Structure 1
């Protein structure tokens, strides 16, 4: 759901210095950070190919599945390089309820073509047919950042900042190109590899991302309740500051193991977000530095214009200490691992429960599709949807149809759309 109209340039929304100055007054320091690890975008990097994907790639095991398709590991025949192939079913005609709207997939491709950064998932190839589109993406093997952190016994703020700084660099790069992600959450922050000394962050899933053009207003009711900004719920203009609110929520969770606005229901969560009220409980944040709290405060501000930009975050003294005392304070401060492990376990359980219950509920509704046999119910195992018994191709097709119908139904403003297929499960 989007609207367009005349408005100030949203790329400049919320551009202010942590010390109260303007972006223009920061001069070369801003420019150095913006172009840090930047790479030149080649507009001809990826063009739509209409040949059979199997002519150029060997298709291997399935990595994941979702509402409109699946992700498979694949190997490029000419180079031997491994990638993740995202196979997306598209609607054959405008009136069809099965598959994803082709324009939506093309928008995601268009955005990925403009992003060439070490901390952003890369698009390598695109194949298109009447009923399907295949995105050949960078193969990301390290799993979710939050899962990686939850495996640790202890983590200092300094260690956490090493990951957060990479996220900020990727987001700053996007925002300087007037692209907003609009779905930043733990599930979309991955590690390229995890069994290395300094794992590299990869931001994935650009299905909700938008190019915010100069002089236009973009509005949407999409996102995941506990991570979205107040302006999404209020159906107000969105822009890069919307992503910064999400980073504030992610940082709060990372340090405390608690979600600042999480309620018992989605409705309660959305009410809490609109109110913008949260606190730093001394019992939970007793090991958290004051600089870390200040960092979060400057992001969880109701007015988007008041929030720090990604570039400003990178020069905040919590991320970039101004003196030895600040550096020592953050190295001695730590995240609440006990709470964080509990949060991550609940998060994974809720994801699995929501996916399976929705699928099984819809597949029992005769109006939507033929009911499955009891022994063919699905359960969630790890990061993938797997059958409890071998499913026939008919059963898989039935499940995809149910899920497609589910997402095609009109969504009430308070029930915000949750994300579909993960790019690299």
Structure 2
């Protein structure tokens, strides 16, 4: 979609229409915040997707990827799929106004239960299948089905919502989609073999998710990615009594139909919805499903480990970078050069973490260093505080403040953090910074628009 008058994007500030609130999630190139419509008072989720500024840049999402995600969301309209309501665009971001899904992840919800019968588990899997059926009817494959992308509208109703269509694809006749997409633990054999992807690729993931839900064990997970991929390609799984002691034969048959290496022999979403585990055809099948239980004790352990791994991924980059610093320091005999390189390296790492809203990574990085000046600036006089203000990452701003950041520090253009926040319309950041960053009448001459925004929140100088 080009920036033309026919574009569905609103080329105006999101803040004109919505009150931007707290951050509720983040991804590689996106931050999700809760917003409230100024006209109706209705709550939504705003997904701020950072655009790639240059074709050679590794930061930000490519325009064609953003447009594909939007196109797919616009085509979908189902109770079990997150809904897109509006689209905004500015120089930095494309912002999607989405349905607010506040019930958390399905797996977290289940882990809080004391017991879960298979009849209850099938109700959740059936909702996932219903959402997929709507997608597959339109030849859209999700391609990244995993626990993190299966949420609940709220805890009271337990309505499933499929989210995150960033790598989803429209499957077209005569056009083979061959890419390494998805999360290793849940990808199908055809992904690893670089064979054409299709609607059937989603069905493998449903099989893996169901296996985990019933047993608390991941069918193919190895000690590393290579081992996991080898297990997937060999379709090396079993139903050990240790994990499936109380599992029905119907459930095992359902899973067997999905974890099939040959895509053409794999159960389709239509097959699954009519399978007796999902839709019993007689009283015996209903009773078998009702009496069977999920291995909830194992499941809780699995889910706790999964959440721990997510936290570990957050800091893994900084682990590697801090080790790299130490390795370089051991090899470099020039102490002055060593210190300069380390400072520059750490600063780049800090900036990268701030851009990705990676507070856990920042904490770990700083803990791994014997000393680091949190107010260190790059050649433009820009500090982590300036960057966090511009992105509106409130948790990072507060953390930097706690770590002793100079809140009124200026870059080489004479701008403090509140001006960085103002230029990007980061209202919450402005409110937080306004008491630390005084306005200067010279700023009115130099940056009229930012100064105008700030005077709504800060008392202007005489």
Q: TM-score range by the shorter chain?
A: 0.7 to 0.9
Q: 2-side partners of 1:378 and 1:89: how far apart?
A: 14
Q: Which moved more, 1:361-370 or 1:311-320?
A: 361-370
Judged with a 3 Å threshold, the aligned counterparts in structure 2 of structure 1 residues 100 and 120 are, in CA distance, closer, same or farther, namely same
Deviation at 1:71, TM superposition (A): 1.1
Q: 2:256 aligns with which of 297, 300, 303?
A: 297
Q: 2-side partners of 1:119 and 1:368: how far apart?
A: 48
The list of structure 1 runs, each at least 4 consecutive aligned residues, that deviate by more than 3 angstroms after superposition, is 359-370, 372-379, 383-391, 393-398
- Work out whether residues 362 and 368 of structure 1, in 8 Å CA contact, stay in contact via their aligned partners in 2: no
Q: 1:392 aligns with which of 379, 385, 392?
A: 385
Q: 2-side partners of 1:71 and 1:255: how far apart?
A: 31
**In structure 1, what is the equivalent of residue 64 of structure 2?**
103
**In structure 2, what is the equivalent of residue 236 of structure 1?**
195
Q: 2-side partners of 1:375 and 1:129: how far apart?
A: 25
- Work out whether residues 65 and 384 of structure 1, in 8 Å CA contact, stay in contact via their aligned partners in 2: no
**In structure 2, what is the equivalent of residue 213 of structure 1?**
172
- Work out whether residues 60 and 73 of structure 1, in 8 Å CA contact, stay in contact via their aligned partners in 2: yes
Deviation at 1:374, TM superposition (A): 11
Alignment of 1:16-415 (within 5 A): 47-194=8-155, 196=156, 198-359=157-318, 361-362=320-321, 370-372=345-347, 385=360, 388=363, 392-394=385-387
- Work out whether residues 317 and 361 of structure 2, in 8 Å CA contact, stay in contact via their aligned partners in 1: no
Q: 2-side partners of 1:131 and 1:164: how far apart?
A: 38
User: How many residues get paired?
Assistant: 349
Pairwise CA RMSD? 2.8
Cα offsets for 1:151-172 (capped at 9, x unmatched): 1111000011111110000001
Q: 2-side partners of 1:375 and 1:117: how far apart?
A: 41
Q: 2-side partners of 1:367 and 1:375: how far apart?
A: 12
Q: 1-side partners of 2:108 and 2:318: how far apart?
A: 25
Judged with a 3 Å threshold, the aligned counterparts in structure 2 of structure 1 residues 375 and 355 are, in CA distance, closer, same or farther, namely closer
Q: 2-side partners of 1:202 and 1:368: how far apart?
A: 44
Judged with a 3 Å threshold, the aligned counterparts in structure 2 of structure 1 residues 53 and 247 are, in CA distance, closer, same or farther, namely same
Q: 1-side partners of 2:344 and 2:89: how far apart?
A: 28
Deviation at 1:47, TM superposition (A): 2.0
Q: Which moved more, 1:182-191 or 1:216-225?
A: 216-225
Judged with a 3 Å threshold, the aligned counterparts in structure 2 of structure 1 residues 374 and 47 are, in CA distance, closer, same or farther, namely closer
Judged with a 3 Å threshold, the aligned counterparts in structure 2 of structure 1 residues 179 and 359 are, in CA distance, closer, same or farther, namely farther
Q: 1-side partners of 2:93 and 2:126: how far apart?
A: 37
**In structure 1, what is the equivalent of residue 445 of structure 2?**
none
- Work out whether residues 216 and 301 of structure 2, in 8 Å CA contact, stay in contact via their aligned partners in 1: yes
Deviation at 1:368, TM superposition (A): 12
Q: 2-side partners of 1:126 and 1:369: how far apart?
A: 38
Judged with a 3 Å threshold, the aligned counterparts in structure 2 of structure 1 residues 68 and 301 are, in CA distance, closer, same or farther, namely same
- Work out whether residues 356 and 378 of structure 1, in 8 Å CA contact, stay in contact via their aligned partners in 2: no
- Work out whether residues 314 and 361 of structure 2, in 8 Å CA contact, stay in contact via their aligned partners in 1: no
**In structure 2, what is the equivalent of residue 22 of structure 1?**
none
Where 1:48 maps in the other structure, the secondary structure is coil
Judged with a 3 Å threshold, the aligned counterparts in structure 2 of structure 1 residues 385 and 141 are, in CA distance, closer, same or farther, namely farther
Judged with a 3 Å threshold, the aligned counterparts in structure 2 of structure 1 residues 374 and 114 are, in CA distance, closer, same or farther, namely closer
Judged with a 3 Å threshold, the aligned counterparts in structure 2 of structure 1 residues 146 and 124 are, in CA distance, closer, same or farther, namely same
The unaligned stretches of length 5 or more in structure 1 are 1-45, 401-425
Deviation at 1:95, TM superposition (A): 2.1
Which structure is richer in relative contact order (CA contacts within 8 A, separation 6 or more)? 1
Where 1:327 maps in the other structure, the secondary structure is helix
Where 2:210 maps in the other structure, the secondary structure is helix
Cα offsets for 1:76-129 (capped at 9, x unmatched): 112111111111111122122321111111110000000000000111111122
**In structure 1, what is the equivalent of residue 452 of structure 2?**
none
**In structure 1, what is the equivalent of residue 411 of structure 2?**
none
Larger radius of gyration between Structure 1 and Structure 2? 2
Q: 2-side partners of 1:169 and 1:111: how far apart?
A: 17
Q: Under a length normalisation based on structure 1, what TM-score does the superposition of the two structures give?
A: 0.77
